Chain A
């Protein structure tokens, strides 16, 4: 006999801890525990038997792995949180006593935690991090669009919008954008970076109000993590693309609300040698730090006195690079420059997959009219190599103005109005340009080619905008207009004809073949009916041989149908019987799969039916307007 096993010493009772037990063990508050869990990515687990995991109690609790909690217990952030608690106490005491100097001293030595090690822990490789930035990007874009309030400081919003701009700049530069989708929730974008698809959602530009049932603290904790994560990811992406990170901000442009255009992409100079790995880090970091910091400075000094730019070598190099690249990439990607600019891009971005149609809009110059959203379309068009300009009411930094002759397309989103007065120049300009609605851009991107502009002309009813992400296999596809559609059409013809029969009973203009068909389809087997049909055919003046042929055909058809149906029925019965031999487990699985299949089929058929009805209605409306 083995050793006696005590209850609760092994197995689920040992492997899982409840949340309250975990908090007790970590000696922190619930809020701190939550924060730690968010930062460390620890989530509750579902034990196989809740009772066994909770020492016989079936009370509703959440369980964590005991190992996860043990792992949290060694977390430096937890230590810092404890220190912060002590600090808060000390500070409040000092303030209460009016000991200002000691309060100041305390404030200076306030414990601050960093999340670098957590990022490294959670994402051991860069690919891991890249795979997980979807949520981070969504949050960053959301917070970049939020108004500041006492709980959300403006500095946070500023940082979020900076990160958002950095990401957009990178995507534009690397041509990584693949798909976009205008949904009712916002705009979905999908980019492909290092073979990882990154999808993010950007809300439309409206003021968002934080609902009361949303805990902002949780969101801010997530945001804290996401900011750090994105910072490191962007650093890696930029440095791999031989760009300076963070990209310097052109304050003048930013004040003019240039948005993304306010940041300058700066290439790190080619001359700088790349030392071996361990040393390189330090040097690189230093170099980056210096350039990153001083570029701001130099920009400021440049603004005041342009000649005064004899800083460190690195700086001037970086500055030069930035100027060039900025002009090339951000402001004027003209056709002549395209080659020279694309060369270093290809060189530097070997790792990144180049899209076949990354230069979809390269031959075109687009103009955004003032009612369209600039951030969306500037990003979309520039990611696909197009030039785009906008009126100053949409923000500064437009590379050209409306009267520019190179404009080929105008994105316009307003109802058609009569052109009251038009100068000759305006008229020629109008005729030279193509006017399209904004959906054209997105549909072109998703189709991977330039679509015809006519259906997207202003005032036209737009074709439906479909999701480029697709649905599950075998789902209803609204774009399909093949055999099924024809069948539908045929059915409808018949139906409509039947209707006609009903309506215009007096009219005798029906096709003879249809009479026959109708009669024969009713009862081809029944002799009496056949006889009657023959008579009717004679009366209608149809050739008797033709009638016989028709009869033979219909009989053959019906026989075939019958035999097919009987054999099918037999097969169904057979499979039904074979189901008896399934084990219970298999039976359940089968039922489950069948259930989901049926549900899908039902959904699909519902949509198909609706489409039929809509088409029918449309046809009717066309026929008798």
Chain B
């Protein structure tokens, strides 16, 4: 338009204009910044104005020389507004500007759209108007869609395979037809389409009208379009035409080096010797890296001709083949070949080499000390049991109860045994012959039995539900009986304590007392449950009882001479399993489920807490010297504590296969025994040296088996006879056995 007009001038005018422009630019630069924007607009306005004059003259020119016009036009469009031009080229067909005959104004005319294949497809004539949908939707229907009027377009007759074949034979155009999905029929391809296919097939441009070899239109270059004026008015810098000084210096350096022979250009690579005496220098002080372990050397079974016994049987072969390669003991199956020429190639050779290499660089290596020891040397050398006699070896007699025997008591002279069973019978019998002398029937289960350790008196205590009975055996000598009675039931009762105790001591009147009933009965508070353990102090005056009832076991210490009971602990952490008096010192052991606490009763303070590491303590016993304690647990462990040393056990033994039930030190012999639910009794020799430096010696001597396991319970209690190396054991099978040396 206006711009066009301005540019469609002759060269001279053009140049003149440009000069004008530059002049204007120069002027413009002198203007202030504020006015800059306006100025450009005004500038444009001027330019717009300018060409208004031109068209007429231009027209006149163009009428004279048509060829020139075209050229000019090209120039014009290019020079003026490249953006719009590009759009015109690429998106729309080229428009022409003509003068309308009617209005007399300029108007743009676009070329007619030819309805060929790249034109709008809406003009195509198809009867089926379903649109671009998957045609298999119509698979089950008789029609294939709808026409313009909404009527169904029926599927054309399909014909069978034979028809189709005949068609291919008869119809000469059948090979140029393709299946039309929309019409559901073969349609012959048009000539254009065939041409298109051919072109695609031969890798030509698919569009037949496209000419890839059109002459280039020189838009920017060519004659008359050279840039004449420099972009910048700055003068040419000197560096453009003077050689670089620094480069010169560098080059001269190299030249000098070449002249002096320091650099030899194009020197052939000197062949360094590949191998030389690398180990001639003294080695570094670094320790060499550990060498990789060598693979094991081949054994007889790898021979090509091994002795026959090495050959695998069918089972071996099967087993070998079924095992994973990692699990196989050997990576080959032994084979026997009668001659060397018959040995085949080994197919896993490369694989084995590769695996070795993987081992070398991917397997973590650990340095292990190879133990080359005789396993028997690990077994400690202990004195032979034969040299440590006497100890119980055989079962000398068996005394039967009708029910489970929970507790036994042995008289201090070692001649009598009382045993109590779950049905409430307490039976007194003689150790040597097993003759029953007396039997008592008490209410409820018998939880514990303990004979008073005093030798001048003779009685035992029986723990039952909430009660502790003091019983006097029959057939005592009169002095002993008198003394016993005077102790247990004195004519003048000691004064009752100031503070009322919840424990009641009752005595039947001396007239009504017979040997069949308890001489004294201690009623511990109700609902404290079965008295599970009784422990005498060595003097025979104090008696400690543990009741199983309640959430916490109740511990009472009874004093026989004062007929007084007291609870030594207000509160015990954990459930009390067992208590013990120290044989020499005023100490008291309390075993809860996991700990054993040692208290000083006279000072009333905690001395030690022993940690046996047992989950649930079942029993404990203290050595007659008072310096060692053994603790047994339901988790089969037996811990030996040296009380003068650590809180931790000196030795932990685990040899029973079931829970340990009972432990007992022999009062005079260096023996102790443990019984367990596996029905076995284990006798140990335990020697303790006076010399503190020597560790106690524990030697297992004998395993006594003779009790039957009954309902998962074995030997429930064991007791030593005082003066003999004899052992009495009561089991869940109702038997009380005496084991003699």
Contacts and interface: CB of A to CB of B under 8 A. Distances in A.
A140 to B, nearest CB: 11
A495 interface: no
Give the contact-size bracket for chain A. Answer: 35 or more
A46 B364 contact: yes
Contacts of A332: none
A451 B274 CA distance: 45
Interface in A549-596: 574-575, 577-582, 584, 586, 589-590, 593-594
A211 interface: yes
Interface string B221-236: 0000000000000000
B356 interface: yes
Interface in B331-347: 332, 334-335, 337-341, 343-346
A34 interface: yes
Given A184-B332, A188-B298, A581 B700 contact: yes
B346 A186 contact: yes
B351 interface: yes
Contacts of A469: 297-299
A232 interface: yes
Contact of B354 (A215, A471, A611): A215
A289 B360 contact: no
Contact of A199 (B288, B297, B302, B358): B297
B298 A181 contact: yes
Given A181-B298, A577-B703, A464 B306 contact: yes
B309 A41 contact: no
B287 to A, nearest CB: 8
Interface in A15-72: 34, 37-38, 41-46, 62-63
Contacts of B495: none
B362 A44 contact: yes
Q: Is the interface of B mostly helix, strand, loop or mixed?
A: loop
Given A235-B275, A289-B273, A574 B385 contact: yes
B304 interface: yes
A119 B294 CA distance: 19
A330 interface: no
A219 interface: yes
Interface stretch (A202-210, A355-363, A516-524): A202-210
B382 interface: yes
Interface stretch (A84-92, A280-288, A378-386, A530-538): A280-288
Contact of B299 (A289, A471, A590): A471
Nearest to A608: B309
Contacts of B286: 124
B309 A607 contact: yes
Given A45-B364, A277-B280, A586 B297 contact: no
A427 interface: no
A71 to B, nearest CB: 11
B668 interface: no
B309 A610 contact: yes
B357 A464 contact: no
Contacts of A129: 279
Nearest to B313: A610
Nearest to A591: B375
B302 A467 contact: yes
Nearest to A45: B364
Interface stretch (A131-139, A255-263, A302-310, A343-351): A131-139
Contacts, number: 253
B303 interface: yes
Contact of B308 (A373, A581, A614): A614
B345 A465 contact: no
Contacts of B304: 182-184, 465
B339 A437 contact: yes
Best-buried of A182, A183, A466 by chain B (most CB within 10 Å):
A183
A203 B275 contact: no
Contact of A281 (B280, B283, B299): B280
B379 A185 contact: no
Contacts of B363: 43-44
Interface string A284-297: 11001100110000
A367 interface: no
A236 interface: yes
B284 interface: yes
A234 B698 CA distance: 65
Given A413-B340, A578-B379, A581-B653, A37 B350 contact: no
A545 interface: no
Contact of B277 (A125, A207, A239): A239
Interface string B253-277: 0000000000000000001011111
B369 to A, nearest CB: 12
B67 interface: no
Best-buried of B332, B337, B340, B375 by chain A (most CB within 10 Å):
B340
Contacts of B288: 122-125, 128
Interface in B377-407: 378-382, 384-385
B300 interface: yes
B276 A582 contact: no
A214 interface: yes
Contacts of B292: 41, 132, 135
B133 interface: no
Given A120-B278, A142-B350, A478-B309, A206 B345 contact: yes
Closest 6 CB pairs of A and B: A206-B345, A124-B283, A469-B297, A610-B309, A46-B364, A478-B307
13 contacts: A45-B364, A184-B335, A186-B349, A222-B357, A285-B277, A288-B276, A413-B339, A439-B305, A574-B384, A577-B701, A581-B653, A582-B380, A610-B308
Given A134-B294, A231-B275, A373-B340, 16 more contacts: A38-B361, A44-B363, A62-B362, A185-B349, A206-B345, A207-B345, A218-B354, A218-B357, A232-B279, A462-B305, A467-B298, A478-B307, A580-B655, A580-B700, A581-B698, A590-B375
Interface of A: 34, 37-38, 41-46, 62-63, 116, 119-120, 122-126, 128-129, 131-132, 134-135, 138-139, 142, 181-186, 188, 199, 203-204, 206-211, 213-215, 218-219, 222, 231-232, 234-236, 239, 245-246, 277, 280-281, 284-285, 288-289, 292-293, 371-373, 413-414, 437-439, 461-462, 464-467, 469-471, 475, 478, 574-575, 577-582, 584, 586, 589-590, 593-594, 597, 607-608, 610-611, 614
